[in-house]
A and B are shown apart, each in its own frame.
Chain A
Amino acid sequence: MRVHPLNVSGLELDDDTRQSCLHGLAGKSQKESGVEPRIGKQQSPTPEIWAVGGGKGGTGKSFLISSIANCLALQGNRIILVDADFGGANLHTFLGVAKPRVSLTDFLEKKAALADLVVESGIENMGLLMGAINSLGPDDMKHTQKLKLFRHIRSLDADYILLDLGAGAHFNTLDTFLLADKKIVVLLPEITAIENSYYFLKNAFFRQLLKTLGTHGFKEEIQNAWKNREEYNIASLTQLIEYLRKISMTVENIVNRELSDFKANIILNRVTTGEEVVIGRSVKSICKKYFSVDAKYVGYVEHDPMIPRCINKRQPFMQTCPATRCAREIERVTENLLDGKDIYTRA
């Protein structure tokens, strides 16, 4: 377990570190980082990766992840915010900085190293890595390119890497989501957003299962089960899980481990009434009982007309309106994500 720099020495960064945070986020020594290295990883501690997804577009994913990044950066953590919306990158607009001239395309076309593409975000301790804005459609990314990109993202020098995903449940989006240590799903109190988030989570977990079982040589079993699902009487993810568990002890162990490792964090956005707050809790319950996926309800953010106004003016909300209820709710969500706390379950 790593120690969160939140209340350790993260706030006491000396000037050198601060400089290095601003310029390319490189050259950090162990002593300054305030982060305990993970066992087996000497020298450079692995950054913790958070990703925000959720299927439906327009739920506030980019707004929330950029605001959460802002909170983490204010606490002295070194953040790299990655716009992983391959094809529709627009995070720079939320931060109010000019569209960066460099993007992931340059990395994929082998023109530059990933770390050199991190640009300033206008916020201290926070760097921005643009998604592919120009030519690259999501289908153009080859599998090997994707693996290389993921490997390089993981080895970026930062405390937290925050990934903003695009809408939909394309397999590239799902794979990027699965890269994260903290998987965040943004919901609205609307039936379509809830529906899409179920699809998203189910597909993400199915893909994770497919991958892990694949590396253990059971790829055919899971594909076969899904192809002949009518024959085996499999109509849902839970039934598929039940079926797989019966194949063998090894498969059962893998499935159980993947289930206990896969944890989603739910944020309910654009809440307008007190009654809507429980929707997050209900969705969490459904995830567990309908498709065995564990989730935490880390908080909600109220509807505030100031938010679209700030976005349109290209002003970062957390900096422009720090005293609003929404800003405090976002801070609370960030704390809960750090502590792994559900708002309905007391620790």
Chain B
Amino acid sequence: MNTKPEKHRRYLDILEIGPGASYSEIREAYILLKSLYSEDSIVTLPIRDDISEERKKEILEEIEEAYQALAGACEQKDFQRGEEKDLHSGVDVYDQPPFEATEFGGQTLREVREMQGLDLQKIALSTRIQVPYLEHIEHEEFDALPPETYVRGFVISYAKCLRLDSGKVAAEYMKKYRIWKESKI
């Protein structure tokens, strides 16, 4: 890394992330903080007069500087991501998984999820699918899952939550499911 250790430490502090944060964690923090200090929200409205406009500008500049430096360092480490952003979600858009995926199974879903720095709790909260089911989907423990229609619905929601092409993922995943189902008969 080009930045000196103290400087690196300071950048992490500004973005409020720990050492070893992944590219998507850095980006998530950046998008959250940037919108937090540039727009009014229920979190900032009650104390909007506690801080001057200049200080706010300073904070935003610091956030920008920290992000550029940390994201730059990540790019040098061959973290290549598409330029598209989804500002509403705070999570990167992954049109393509960052590796060549030939088939979409539970393993791939898990890898994509981990790459985005998301844990199952978070997925569970936004998809309303319980954690054990998500685990079964990832481990392809088909017999522990509810009937086929539900599995398909779950996989679609999960894929959407990861910003993947849900139609494609579900089609691939269900292919595996059907192979298992036929072998059972």
A residues near B (Cβ < 8 Å) are 189-191, 194-195, 198, 235-238, 271, 273-274, 277-279, 281-286, 288-291, 302, 325, 329, 332, 344-347
B149 CB–A CB distance under 8 Å:
no
B126 near A285: Cβ-Cβ < 8 Å: no
Q: Could you jot down 23 A-B contacts, CB within 8 Å?
A: A190-B42, A191-B45, A191-B46, A198-B46, A235-B50, A236-B50, A237-B50, A238-B51, A274-B125, A278-B90, A279-B42, A281-B16, A282-B36, A282-B41, A282-B43, A282-B44, A283-B43, A285-B16, A288-B16, A290-B50, A325-B124, A329-B121, A346-B18
A289 near B44: Cβ-Cβ < 8 Å: no
B87 CB–A CB distance under 8 Å:
no
- For the complex, what is the distance from the CA of A124 to the CA of B171, rounded to whole Å? 52
Closest 4 CB pairs between A and B?
A: A274-B126, A195-B46, A191-B42, A282-B43
A-B contact count (CB 8 A): 71
Identity of the chain A residue whose Cβ is nearest the Cβ of B12 in the assembled complex: A345
- In the complex, which residues of chain A have a beta carbon less than 8 angstroms from the beta carbon of B51? 236, 238, 289-290
- For the complex, what is the distance from the CA of A278 to the CA of B42, rounded to whole Å? 12
B122 CB–A CB distance under 8 Å:
yes
B59 near A345: Cβ-Cβ < 8 Å: no
- In the complex, which residues of chain A have a beta carbon less than 8 angstroms from the beta carbon of B121? 329, 332
Q: How near does chain B come to A185, taking the closest CB pair, in angstroms? A: 14
Identity of the chain A residue whose Cβ is nearest the Cβ of B130 in the assembled complex: A325
- For the complex, what is the distance from the CA of A170 to the CA of B124, rounded to whole Å? 39
Q: How near does chain B come to A197, taking the closest CB pair, in angstroms? A: 9
- For the complex, what is the distance from the CA of A215 to the CA of B105, rounded to whole Å? 64
A277 near B50: Cβ-Cβ < 8 Å: no
Q: How near does chain A come to B172, taking the closest CB pair, in angstroms? A: 25
- In the complex, which residues of chain A have a beta carbon less than 8 angstroms from the beta carbon of B25? 346
Identity of the chain B residue whose Cβ is nearest the Cβ of A329 in the assembled complex: B121
B151 CB–A CB distance under 8 Å:
no
A346 near B36: Cβ-Cβ < 8 Å: no
B174 CB–A CB distance under 8 Å:
no
Of the candidates B49, B51, B125, the one having the most CB atoms from chain A within 10 angstroms of its own CB is: B125
Q: Which residues of chain B in 86-127 are interfacial with respect to chain A, using CB atoms and an 8 Å cutoff?
A: 90, 121-122, 124-126
A194 near B43: Cβ-Cβ < 8 Å: yes
B46 near A285: Cβ-Cβ < 8 Å: no
Q: Tell me if B's interface is mostly helix, strand, loop or mixed.
A: helix
Q: How near does chain A come to B38, taking the closest CB pair, in angstroms? A: 13
Q: How near does chain B come to A22, taking the closest CB pair, in angstroms? A: 35
Q: How near does chain A come to B65, taking the closest CB pair, in angstroms? A: 15
Identity of the chain A residue whose Cβ is nearest the Cβ of B20 in the assembled complex: A346
Q: How near does chain B come to A307, taking the closest CB pair, in angstroms? A: 17
- For the complex, what is the distance from the CA of A302 to the CA of B130, rounded to whole Å? 13
- For the complex, what is the distance from the CA of A198 to the CA of B46, rounded to whole Å? 9
B145 CB–A CB distance under 8 Å:
no
- In the complex, which residues of chain B have a beta carbon less than 8 angstroms from the beta carbon of A290? 47, 50-51
- In the complex, which residues of chain A have a beta carbon less than 8 angstroms from the beta carbon of B69? none
A347 near B50: Cβ-Cβ < 8 Å: no
- For the complex, what is the distance from the CA of A283 to the CA of B47, rounded to whole Å? 11
- In the complex, which residues of chain B have a beta carbon less than 8 angstroms from the beta carbon of A284? 16
Q: A236-B50, A277-B125, A285-B33 are in contact. Are A345 and B43 (CB under 8 A)?
A: no
16 more contacts with CB within 8 A, not counting A273-B126, A344-B16, A346-B21, are A190-B42, A191-B42, A191-B45, A198-B47, A274-B122, A274-B125, A279-B42, A281-B16, A281-B32, A282-B36, A282-B44, A285-B36, A302-B125, A344-B29, A345-B18, A347-B18
Identity of the chain B residue whose Cβ is nearest the Cβ of A190 in the assembled complex: B42
Cross-interface CB contact of B17 among A277, A332, A345, cutoff 8 Å: A345
- For the complex, what is the distance from the CA of A324 to the CA of B93, rounded to whole Å? 32
- In the complex, which residues of chain A have a beta carbon less than 8 angstroms from the beta carbon of B50? 235-238, 290-291
Q: How near does chain B come to A89, taking the closest CB pair, in angstroms? A: 29
Of the candidates A236, A281, A282, A289, the one having the most CB atoms from chain B within 10 angstroms of its own CB is: A289
Interface string of B24-58 (1 = CB under 8 A from A): 01000100110011000111111101110000000
Q: How near does chain B come to A254, taking the closest CB pair, in angstroms? A: 23
A286 near B20: Cβ-Cβ < 8 Å: no
- In the complex, which residues of chain B have a beta carbon less than 8 angstroms from the beta carbon of A344? 16-17, 29
- For the complex, what is the distance from the CA of A285 to the CA of B66, rounded to whole Å? 15
A286 near B45: Cβ-Cβ < 8 Å: no
- For the complex, what is the distance from the CA of A189 to the CA of B42, rounded to whole Å? 8
Q: How near does chain A come to B116, taking the closest CB pair, in angstroms? A: 14
- In the complex, which residues of chain A have a beta carbon less than 8 angstroms from the beta carbon of B59? 289
Q: How near does chain A come to B156, taking the closest CB pair, in angstroms? A: 16
Q: How near does chain B come to A272, taking the closest CB pair, in angstroms? A: 10
Q: A285-B16, A289-B59 are in contact. Are A278 and B44 (CB under 8 A)?
A: no
- In the complex, which residues of chain A have a beta carbon less than 8 angstroms from the beta carbon of B32? 278, 281-282, 285
- In the complex, which residues of chain B have a beta carbon less than 8 angstroms from the beta carbon of A329? 121
- For the complex, what is the distance from the CA of A286 to the CA of B126, rounded to whole Å? 25
